[in-house]
């Protein structure tokens, strides 16, 4: 790991008051320090430890001096290198030398550990574990969909000491803080330079230093250093950039691993939703992996259901990628993609199971908590028809939401008839296909609900006795009502009766929509 002049300056100034003289020495990497001997000609790029009274009168080469003793008086603009004066007259030169050597040794050992972890493809948490003693503060690493890959926390000991340890309690951002996390991280994912922001809910007592990781134009995740145990130091910023470079290499290596079955299905489904061509070979390979994975779990392939999920609170920005991954964890054998500001889930229901138990019972509490709505398609077998069933689930969601806003799940079988009726008028307004006689029945006076009488009569297959019994009327009292109804609508053929049933259902739907 490169230890540059700037890092040395920051590190010394964190422990002693430092005054800088000469021209700034910008070397990104400097060698181990050596003692400077009086009268010696300074060499290019060297790092010297010296007493101020032993400094040369002038330096014609770029090098770095760190000195202690009395304040140097003869260093001006003609001095080509840089002098860092540790303004502590009691500081012994050997103490200063050992102090800097210890820093070099600690950073070098850390770097060797990181290199070894990288060579053996160690998990990300091992890199964080090795780095906690260096930063003495909390570190969190999230990936592109806001999954917490690893995080750490401050641990209190009985003696009052505090130190940082890995946090093993959860692997995701809790729902209750997801929106705050989105506000502070997700809005900044395109920032290429490290950025610092004041802590809010996540770290109200300090600052947070973030570095976004990218592979080309693709966002990989974010490394965050939290100032929970102690205030941030200048050296932390430079060292954390080195740490983030290692994590970026780890995440880049992971991104080149052969995709799993779920990633392959996700890419296939994304292409199908956008009407892109899909390779039959890729599809066969992905489905074969899914089948083997399900067989390993003791279940067999069944049928697909498409689930379209939309927020009922549209003014909020949905953290779609996080929610998609959360849904995949929640629903077994599912693949979820963000598409047109929605979450589109394709869930494989194993053979012998039903959508109610496998999907609805699991999904409903989550939808209620998040104030979301979901439309669920009919079952289907051919994943190549993914877009068709997406359109179906989307239409069912739209229809159900307009008719029953208090619900959170709208299933195909429950709302397909209302959907068909809404669209049966084609380009006409719905009122234009209704029987004119129904409007007259609606407005007929006399204290009788003729529309309700007609509806019950049709529901009882035109059986006057059953209808009278249902209305608590004598049959002789019902027949005059039916005679009036028959003067306005035609009940003679099954087709006419079906038409009237459709019209009555449409009237009910229009009333609900109001």
For residue 182, pLDDT beyond 80: no
**Mean pLDDT lowest among 115-119, 144-148, 220-224:** 144-148
Q: Which helix (H) or strand (E) holds 478?
A: helix 475-486
For residue 263, pLDDT beyond 50: no
Q: What is the pLDDT of residue 317?
A: 52
Burial, 355: exposed, middle or buried (Cβ in 10 Å; 0-12, 13-18, 19+)? Answer: buried
Beta strand pairing status for 303-311 and 334-339?
Answer: unpaired
Burial, 48: exposed, middle or buried (Cβ in 10 Å; 0-12, 13-18, 19+)? Answer: buried
Positive or negative: CA dihedral 347, 351, 356, 361: negative
Q: Which residues contact 393 (CB under 8 A, 6 or more apart)?
A: 306, 307, 308, 344, 375, 376, 377, 412
Q: What is the pLDDT of residue 254?
A: 66
Q: Provide the pLDDT confidence category of residue 100 given band limits of 50, 70 and 90.
A: very high
* Mean pLDDT over the full length of the chain: 83
Q: Provide the pLDDT confidence category of residue 397 given band limits of 50, 70 and 90.
A: very high
Return the half-sphere exposure (C-beta side, CA atoms, 13 A cut-off) of residue 336: 23
Q: What is the pLDDT of residue 261?
A: 39
Task: Give residue for tokens 């910023």.
Answer: 237
Q: Stretch 370-391: mean pLDDT, rounded?
A: 93
362-394 exposure pattern, b = at least 16 Cβ within 10 A, e = fewer = ebeebbeebebbbbbbbbbeebeebbebbebbb
Q: Stretch 117-144: mean pLDDT, rounded?
A: 88
Partners of 305 in the β-ladder: 347
Q: What is the pLDDT of residue 110?
A: 93
pLDDT tens digits, one per residue of 279-330: 887 788 788 878 887 887 788 899 999 999 986 545 455 556 667 777 887 8
Q: What is the pLDDT of residue 256?
A: 46
> How large a percentage of the chain has pLDDT more than 70?
88
For residue 514, pLDDT beyond 50: yes
pLDDT tens digits, one per residue of 345-359: 999 999 888 888 889
Please tell me the pTM assigned to this model. Answer: 0.52
Q: What is the pLDDT of residue 409?
A: 94
Q: What is the DSSP string of 359-411?
A: IIHHHHHHHHHHTEEEEE---BS-GGGHHHHHHHHHHHHHHHHHH-TT-SEEE
pLDDT tens digits, one per residue of 492-509: 888 888 888 888 888 887
CB pairs under 8 A, 24+ apart, for 487-490?
A: 488/437, 488/438, 488/440, 488/441, 489/435, 489/437, 489/438, 489/441, 489/454
Q: What is the 3-state secondary structure (H, E, C) of 213-255?
A: EEECCEEEEEEEEECCCCCCCHHHHHHHHHHHHHHHHHHHHHH
Q: What is the pLDDT of residue 339?
A: 87
């Amino acid at each position: 790991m490169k230890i540059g002049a700037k890092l040395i300056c920051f590190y010394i100034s964190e422990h002693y008051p430092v005054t800088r003289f000469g021209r700034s020495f910008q070397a990104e990497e400097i060698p181990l320090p050596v003692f400077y001997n009086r009268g010696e000609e300074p060499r290019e790029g060297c790092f010297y430890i010296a007493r101020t009274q032993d400094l040369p009168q002038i330096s014609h080469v770029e090098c770095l001096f760190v000195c202690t003793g009395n304040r140097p008086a003869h260093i001006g603009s003609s001095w080509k290198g840089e002098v860092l004066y540790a303004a502590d007259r009691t500081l012994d030169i050997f103490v200063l030398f050992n102090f800097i050597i210890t820093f070099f040794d600690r950073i070098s050992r850390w770097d060797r550990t990181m290199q070894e972890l990288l060579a053996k493809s160690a998990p990300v948490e091992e890199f964080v574990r090795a780095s906690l003693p260096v930063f003495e503060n909390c570190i969190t690493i999230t990936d592109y969909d806001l999954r917490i890959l690893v995080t750490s926390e401050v641990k209190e000991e009985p003696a009052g000491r505090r130190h940082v340890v890995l946090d093993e309690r959860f692997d995701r951002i809790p729902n209750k803080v997801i929106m705050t996390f989105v506000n502070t991280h997700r809005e900044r994912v395109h920032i290429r330079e490290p950025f610092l922001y004041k802590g809010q809910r996540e770290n109200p007592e300090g600052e947070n230093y973030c570095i976004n990781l990218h592979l080309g134009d693709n966002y990989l995740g974010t490394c965050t250093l939290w100032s929970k145990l102690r205030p941030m130091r200048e050296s932390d910023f430079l060292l954390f950039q080195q740490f983030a470079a290692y994590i970026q290499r780890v995440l880049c290596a992971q991104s080149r691993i052969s995709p799993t079955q779920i990633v392959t299905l996700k890419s296939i489904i994304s292409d199908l939703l956008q009407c892109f061509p899909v390779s039959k070979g890729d599809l066969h390979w992905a489905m074969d992996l899914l089948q083997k994975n399900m067989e390993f779990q003791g279940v067999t392939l069944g049928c697909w259901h498409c689930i379209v999920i939309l927020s009922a609170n549209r003014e909020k920005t949905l953290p779609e990628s996080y929610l998609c991954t959360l849904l995949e964890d929640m629903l077994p054998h599912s693949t979820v993609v963000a598409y047109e500001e929605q979450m589109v889930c394709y869930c494989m229901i194993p053979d012998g199971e039903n959508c109610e138990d496998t999907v609805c019972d699991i999904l409903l509490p989550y939808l209620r908590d998040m104030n979301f709505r979901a439309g669920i398609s009919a079952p289907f077998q051919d994943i190549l028809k993914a877009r068709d069933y997406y359109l179906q689930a989307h239409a069912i969601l739209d229809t159900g939401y307009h008719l029953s806003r208090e619900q959170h799940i709208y299933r195909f079988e429950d709302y397909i008839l209302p959907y068909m009726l809404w669209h049966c008028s084609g380009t006409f307004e719905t009122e234009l296909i209704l029987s004119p006689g129904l409007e007259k029945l609606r407005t007929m006076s006399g204290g009788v609900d003729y529309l309700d009488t007609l509806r019950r009569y049709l529901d009882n297959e035109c059986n006057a006795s059953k209808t009278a019994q249902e209305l608590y009327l004598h049959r002789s009292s019902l027949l005059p009502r039916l005679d009036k109804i028959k003067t306005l609508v035609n009940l003679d053929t099954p087709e006419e009766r079906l038409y009237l049933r459709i019209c009555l259902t449409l009237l009910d739907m229009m009333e609900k929509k109001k």
